[in-house]
């Protein structure tokens, strides 16, 4: 579950992490006036959307008075913010109103899980305020990583070692070590799978403030955090992904034009690769799961077709637990209520594949015998 910046800062503040003084999150220009007034007049208005690069796209603005805050909020609310991470654009429905801070320098701190080592990783750099990927590419010596033993947790010597390796100024090491330890404790307490502070701002000598925050909570741990239920809002998520979650379907929206359905994450990933190899780009990842019944397949196809960018659909099913005849019935039921203008290529293999092929024989669906053939055909049809 991705949290908005204002939500993440609320949680971090409760756990002892210093954050800028806040006037709250607002969805109305009048409330922006009141929030700025509560902060003394001057304020920063920050669009609450899940993307980086907000400042360059006009999503972060400094105002000098409550009146300017109201006027600026009226211009920002409802705008579509386009960044390099979200070229399709994200609508701004809420703004965080914060007190401006005087930044002397900027640091970068993040915690993420590493599947290969099965450990959490501390990433630290004295070059905050930039994309960490850019820093790692252009200044690799300025990025330090520390693998954290699960049974021991983050040890003080690891923080100091990361500071020295990355080139953090000596006068900041003491304060930074305390801040990083608090952030790690918050990361663990919240069952997060991403905590990124960029920048961790240096203010007033060696004081540190989390100026910008990204926080993602592991969905599988949400049962331990009922207090976070109110933080999930459909408007904060991709609407199709939100609908998929309500239906209990594994769906991730991508930026292509070929809708993809398959059973099993590995098969779906392989299908995405074949679509790319054939010259297309997948519009989504969708795993119908094992033993998918007709009604589940129908629901999955409806989700794929909700994306207006989809110009063709590839259904790739290998029947093990899943029965291909059930899949075939589900697809036919799904298209029966549609005015079908989008080509759909279906590849069935495995359990009752012959029965599935017979069910689809007189339908407008296009059969394929192999995954490679299916990918090539749908890419060609979608280009017409």
Per-residue pLDDT of the chain (384 residues; tens, 9 = 90+): 889 999 999 999 999 999 999 999 999 999 999 999 999 999 999 999 888 888 888 999 999 999 999 999 999 999 998 887 777 788 899 999 999 999 999 999 999 999 899 999 999 999 998 888 889 999 999 999 999 999 999 999 999 999 999 999 999 999 999 999 999 999 999 999 999 999 999 998 779 999 999 999 998 898 899 888 778 764 456 788 888 888 889 999 998 999 999 988 899 999 999 999 999 999 999 998 766 667 788 889 889 999 999 999 999 988 777 788 887 887 787 787 666 789 999 888 888 888 888 888 888 888 888 999 999 999 999 998
- Inter-CA distances, 124 with 141, 179, 206, 337, Å: 11, 12, 17, 54
pLDDT of amino acid 242? 80
Q: Are 2 and 237 in contact (CB under 8 A)?
A: yes
CATH number for region 105-230: 3.30.470.20
**pLDDT on residue 235:** 40
For CATH 3.30.470.20, list the domain ranges present in the chain: 105-230
pTM (2 decimals)? 0.71
Intervals of CATH 3.40.50.261 along the chain? 239-382
- What pLDDT sits at residue 237? 60
In the CATH scheme, what architecture does the domain 21-98 have? Answer: 2-Layer Sandwich (3.30)
Return d(Cα 233, Cα 248) in angstroms, integer.
Answer: 17
Residue positions annotated with a catalytic role: 108, 196
How far apart CA 142 and CA 163 sit, in angstroms, is 10
The architecture of the domain spanning 239-382 is: 3-Layer(aba) Sandwich (3.40)
pLDDT at 2: 86
């Amino acid at each position: 579950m991705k949290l908005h910046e204002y939500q993440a800062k609320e949680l971090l503040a409760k756990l002892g992490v210093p954050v800028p003084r806040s006037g709250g999150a607002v969805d109305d220009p009048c409330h922006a006036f009141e929030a700025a007034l509560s902060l003394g007049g001057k304020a920063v208005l920050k669009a609450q959307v899940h993307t980086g690069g907000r400042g360059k796209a006009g999503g972060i603005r400094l105002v000098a008075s409550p009146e300017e805050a109201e006027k600026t909020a009226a211009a920002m609310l409802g705008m579509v913010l386009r960044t390099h991470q979200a070229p399709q654009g994200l609508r701004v429905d809420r703004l965080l109103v914060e007190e401006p801070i005087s930044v002397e320098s900027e640091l970068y701190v993040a915690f993420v899980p590493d599947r290969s080592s099965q450990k959490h990783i501390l990433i630290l750099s004295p070059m905050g305020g930039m994309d960490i990927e850019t820093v790692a590419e252009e200044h690799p010596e300025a990025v330090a990583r520390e693998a954290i033993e699960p049974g021991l947790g983050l040890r003080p010597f690891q923080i100091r070692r990361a500071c020295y390796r990355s080139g953090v100024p000596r006068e900041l090491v003491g304060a930074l070590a305390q801040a990083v330890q608090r952030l790690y404790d918050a990361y663990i307490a919240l069952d997060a799978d991403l905590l990124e502070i960029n920048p961790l701002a240096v203010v007033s000598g060696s004081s540190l403030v989390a100026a910008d925050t990204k926080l993602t909570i592991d969905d599988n741990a949400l049962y331990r955090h009922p207090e976070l239920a109110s933080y999930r809002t459909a408007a904060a998520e991709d609407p199709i992904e939100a609908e998929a979650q309500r239906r209990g379907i594994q769906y991730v929206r991508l930026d292509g034009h070929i809708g993809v359905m398959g059973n099993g994450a590995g098969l779906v990933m392989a299908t995405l690769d074949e679509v790319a190899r054939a010259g297309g780009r997948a519009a989504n990842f969708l795993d119908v799961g094992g033993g998918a019944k007709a009604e589940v397949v129908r629901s999955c196809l409806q989700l794929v077709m909700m994306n207006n960018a989809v110009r063709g659909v590839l259904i790739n099913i290998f029947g093990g637990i899943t029965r291909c005849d059930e899949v075939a019935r589900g697809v036919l039921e799904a298209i029966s209520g549609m005015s079908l203008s989008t080509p759909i290529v279906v590849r069935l293999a495995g359990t009752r594949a012959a029965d599935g092929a017979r069910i689809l024989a007189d339908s407008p669906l296009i059969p394929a015998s192999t995954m490679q053939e299916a990918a090539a055909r749908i890419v060609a049809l979608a280009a017409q």
